[in-house]
Amino acid sequence: MERVSWESAWEAWGEATADSIEKYGPLSLFFYRGYGSLYFSRNLLVNVFAHMGGYTATSGSLCGAAGGAGLRSVFGGETPVFRPETIGKRSRGVLLWGRNAIETHVHLLPFLDMVRKRGGEVSALEIRRTKTTDYADRWWRVRPGTDALLALLLCRELLVRGDAAAGWRDHSQNPDEFDSMARAIDAGSALTACGMDQKTFDDIYMWLLACRPVAIYGGYGIQRYMSGSRTYMCLAALSLLLGAFAQPGGGVVFGKDEMAMFPWELVRTPPVKRLLPVAEWHRTDFRRPRLGAAVFASANPAKQGPGSGDFAAALKDIPFSVCLDHFMTETAMCCDLVLPSASFLEEGPDWRGSWWHSYLLRSVPVIEPPGEALPDTAIFAGLARAVGVSCDPVAECREMDRRLRSDPRLDEIAEGIYCFDEPDTWSQSDRVIRLPDKPPRFDTPGDGAAIRLVSVHVADYINGQIWGVETGGGLPLVRLSKDDAAGAGVSEGDTVRISGEQAKGPSLQAEVRVDTSLGKGYCVMRQGADDINRLTRARSSPGSGAPFHESFVRIEKMYGKSDNSA
Ligand SMILES: Nc1nc2c(c(=O)[nH]1)N[C@H]1C(S)=C(S)[C@@H](COP(=O)(O)OP(=O)(O)OC[C@H]3O[C@@H](n4cnc5c(=O)[nH]c(N)nc54)[C@H](O)[C@@H]3O)O[C@H]1N2
Ligand SMILES: Nc1nc2c(c(=O)[nH]1)N[C@H]1C(S)=C(S)[C@@H](COP(=O)(O)OP(=O)(O)OC[C@H]3O[C@@H](n4cnc5c(=O)[nH]c(N)nc54)[C@H](O)[C@@H]3O)O[C@H]1N2
Ligand SMILES: [Mo]
């Protein structure tokens, strides 16, 4: 890396951009934007490319795209809203369905306390013991990737026993279709596929009946499977049968549109545009027609994207690449030009919505950016100048600020804090939704040598960011059930090699923890650990999601614990 001035950086970037357009057309400009920053102004950056004739961007997300798509398909394209206040005031039961709230979403705790103070209960459905299962009043274990099936089995039971909420049919476009589909499921083999015994199933069922209205608080892990969007459709169906829309406090909670109040009219429609699925854009077949200049902003796909081992090679095929970040990330290391971005405290006025509450924040700079760092809007304004297009994201951001400040729907309740009256979709008594019409495909657990790799979020990291976190310098840990540890001939403390499905594929070393709370056939590691995404497969699930957990690995012993210490 060589230090350059801003002027020469913009000049090089501008030249590469103009060159790419001339040789391969505007679709050769690639903009990969992640969620490192949720500032509204980030939506305006593409205007610079729209002025140049078009661009290629990514579809979906590495995060909640699959689940979100499932819920939108049920709600006719709309993202449903479930306000946390409704949980606190109205829900009697909260089922944390694969949501490790105590680890990743502690701001939910005051609302869970409110539920408990009113005599309600909190339960969890998990594939392992977590801080959240310890916190919950009770928890049940399900086999990874079978939640859609379990939800449908619960629907079937409600229908067969006549326990479904009165009037549920009035809230559905296709009640008959759903009813016969659910009843047709073979309960015995489906329960085996879910890795559950009848007693556990009955316990969940009775809890749901006793704790209505139930907020099913879904997680992100449960949608990192090929069935991810279907899982959320089935959770919505279960909520409906339990009485959602009849009484506030029941429904599915899973993020919401944090850009709901953004003035979308400020985003220019490009003459041409192409979307590549975010989880596998770097596969060769997706890069035709070719990409000539790529920009990565607020994202670290070289570490956080599935199949990350192929990222560097894909970039070698792109003549010019740029990364905007605060840090020298794995992605930045692969790029030709690295541009220092100001952080959220150093820029603005800018705005943010939220994926869970209904407030907007207007943020102003409180400190100067260090060194020569600039806000992303100013960095893109420099590119526009270098290419000679008249587009200024800094001015557009000011216009956005002006519009939002004068938006009559927003009420400033404290300095920089605005609230708006966001309707709670699940509490609307006139709602009609579309239920899933096909059962999820399911297999019965086999005893293949390869086991599923599930990676989970942890409080110590912020996604892929572990700057400043003490990792101890040791090997990453891999958690295995007793059976799988015995099957691989390893025990607690051993060092193992974990390799992907293909022979000679990438591998990494890890230290074994035997976790008696796990079922057979899967292992658990922390997401954000170095190289873990070399083992995950780059493919897309419906809704352009990233099914990280549909990856299988082989585990071989390298050294025993005592060899290690010796
Ligand atoms: N401190 C901190 N907070 C964070 C983050 C962070 O990195 N650090 N990341 C943020 C982001 S971007 C996200 S998306 C969220 C993620 O928040 P969560 O959804 O809570 O996190 P995950 O670990 O992805 O998944 C939650 C749980 O799902 C379980 N699970 C996996 N597969 C299955 C399954 O098939 N069925 C069931 N029932 N359970 C399953 C896992 O064991 C895991 O405990 O957290 C956010 N909050
Ligand atoms: N194996 C596995 N992989 C996963 C997951 C998993 O569970 N398992 N979880 C997935 C999930 S849920 C998510 S959300 C993704 C996260 O994937 P990414 O969004 O790619 O990951 P981050 O590490 O959060 O990277 C965001 C980057 O943005 C930078 N940044 C922050 N603010 C700004 C800004 O204002 N401007 C600019 N230019 N940069 C900024 C940060 O420094 C950081 O480097 O990871 C996914 N990857
Ligand atoms: Mo995420």
Per residue in 376-397, pLDDT (tens digit) is 999 999 999 999 999 999 999 9
Ligand 2 atom having least distance to the Cα of 297:
38
Write down which residue in 234, 253, 272 finishes a domain.
253
Q: Which residues fall within 8 angstroms of residue 224, CB to CB, at 6 or more apart?
A: 66, 545, 546, 547, 548, 549, 550
Residues 139 and 193 in one domain: yes
Ligand 2, atom 13, lies closest to the CA of 63
Per residue in 209-253, pLDDT (tens digit) is 999 999 999 999 999 999 999 999 999 999 999 999 999 999 999
The answer as to whether 442 is a domain residue is no
pLDDT score at 507: 94
Ligand in closest contact with the CA of 545: 2
- Name 124's bridge partners: 96, 139
Ligand 2, atom 40, lies closest to the CA of 298
- Whole-number Å distance, alpha carbon 566 to ligand 1 midpoint, is 37
Ligand 1, atom 1, lies closest to the CA of 459
Q: Which residues line ligand 1 (CB under 6 A)?
A: 63, 97-100, 104-105, 125-128, 130, 142, 144-145, 147, 219-222, 454, 456-457, 459, 461-463, 549
- Mean pLDDT, residues 353-357 taken together: 94
Quote the distance between the C-alpha of residue 402 and its chain's center: 31
Residues 391 and 494 in one domain: no
Ligand 1 atom having least distance to the Cα of 225:
35
Per residue in 400-427, pLDDT (tens digit) is 999 999 999 999 999 999 999 999 999 9
Write down which residue in 218, 253, 288 finishes a domain.
253
pLDDT score at 462: 85
Q: For residue 446, name the pLDDT band (cuts at 50, 70, 90).
A: low
- Mean pLDDT, residues 16-25 taken together: 98
Residues 390 and 493 in one domain: no
Domain span at residue 144? Answer: 65-253
- Whole-number Å distance, alpha carbon 469 to ligand 3 midpoint, is 19
Residues 357 and 244 in one domain: no
Ligand in closest contact with the CA of 141: 1
**Probe residue for ligand 2, chosen from 258, 280, 325, 508 as the CB with the greatest number of ligand atoms within 8 Å:** 325
pLDDT score at 389: 98
The answer as to whether 464 is a domain residue is yes
- Mean pLDDT, residues 338-358 taken together: 96
For ligand 2, whether the C-beta of 93 sits within 6 Å is no
Residues 45 and 96 in one domain: no
Residues 503 and 519 in one domain: yes
- Whole-number Å distance, alpha carbon 546 to ligand 1 midpoint, is 14
DSSP string for residues in 484-549 = HHHHHT--TT-EEEEE-SSTT--EEEEEEEE-TT--TTEEEEETTSTTGGGSS----BTTTB--TT
How many domains does one find in the chain? Answer: 3
Of 238-242, 264-268, 557-561, the one with minimum mean pLDDT is 557-561
Write down which residue in 253, 268, 289 finishes a domain.
253
For ligand 2, whether the C-beta of 43 sits within 6 Å is no
- Whole-number Å distance, alpha carbon 224 to ligand 3 midpoint, is 11
- Whole-number Å distance, alpha carbon 305 to ligand 2 midpoint, is 9
Residues 347 and 461 in one domain: no
Residue 22 is part of a domain; what is its CATH number? 3.40.50.740
- Mean pLDDT, residues 451-480 taken together: 85
Residues counted in the chain: 566
The answer as to whether 149 is a domain residue is yes
- Whole-number Å distance, alpha carbon 192 to ligand 1 midpoint, is 25
The answer as to whether 435 is a domain residue is no
Ligand in closest contact with the CA of 548: 2
Residues 98 and 145 in one domain: yes
Residues 369 and 468 in one domain: no
- Mean pLDDT, residues 54-79 taken together: 97
- Whole-number Å distance, alpha carbon 219 to ligand 2 midpoint, is 17
Q: What angle do CA 223, 226, 227 make, to 5 degrees?
A: 65
Ligand in closest contact with the CA of 217: 1
For ligand 2, whether the C-beta of 100 sits within 6 Å is no
Q: For residue 468, name the pLDDT band (cuts at 50, 70, 90).
A: low
- Whole-number Å distance, alpha carbon 327 to ligand 2 midpoint, is 12
Sheet containing 272-277: which strands, arranged edge to edge?
272-277, 54-59, 29-33, 293-297, 320-325, 337-340
The answer as to whether 220 is a domain residue is yes
What is the radius of gyration, based on Cα positions, of the chain?
25
- Mean pLDDT, residues 20-31 taken together: 97
Residues 131 and 182 in one domain: yes
355 DSSP 8-state letter: S
Residues 97 and 23 in one domain: no
For ligand 2, whether the C-beta of 223 sits within 6 Å is no
Residue 166 is part of a domain; what is its CATH number? 3.40.228.10
pLDDT score at 226: 95
Ligand 2, atom 25, lies closest to the CA of 299
DSSP H stretches of helix in 184-245: 187-193, 198-210, 228-241
Q: For residue 470, name the pLDDT band (cuts at 50, 70, 90).
A: low
Per-residue pLDDT at 461 exceeds 70 = yes
The answer as to whether 185 is a domain residue is yes
Name residue, tokens 């012993």: 557
Q: What is the largest CA-CA distance in the chain?
A: 72
pLDDT score at 566: 43
The answer as to whether 1 is a domain residue is no
- Whole-number Å distance, alpha carbon 63 to ligand 2 midpoint, is 9
Average pLDDT over the chain, rounded to an integer:
95
For ligand 2, whether the C-beta of 533 sits within 6 Å is yes
Ligand 2, atom 12, lies closest to the CA of 63
Per-residue pLDDT at 59 exceeds 70 = yes
Ligand 2 atom having least distance to the Cα of 39:
35
Distance CA 253, CA 217 (A): 5
pLDDT score at 447: 55
Per-residue pLDDT at 197 exceeds 90 = yes
The answer as to whether 34 is a domain residue is yes
Residues 75 and 167 in one domain: yes
Contact 322, 336 (CB under 8 A): yes
Residue 519 is part of a domain; what is its CATH number? 2.40.40.20
Backbone angles phi, psi at 314, to 5 degrees: -65, -40
Nearest to 143 by CA among 454, 498, 449: 454
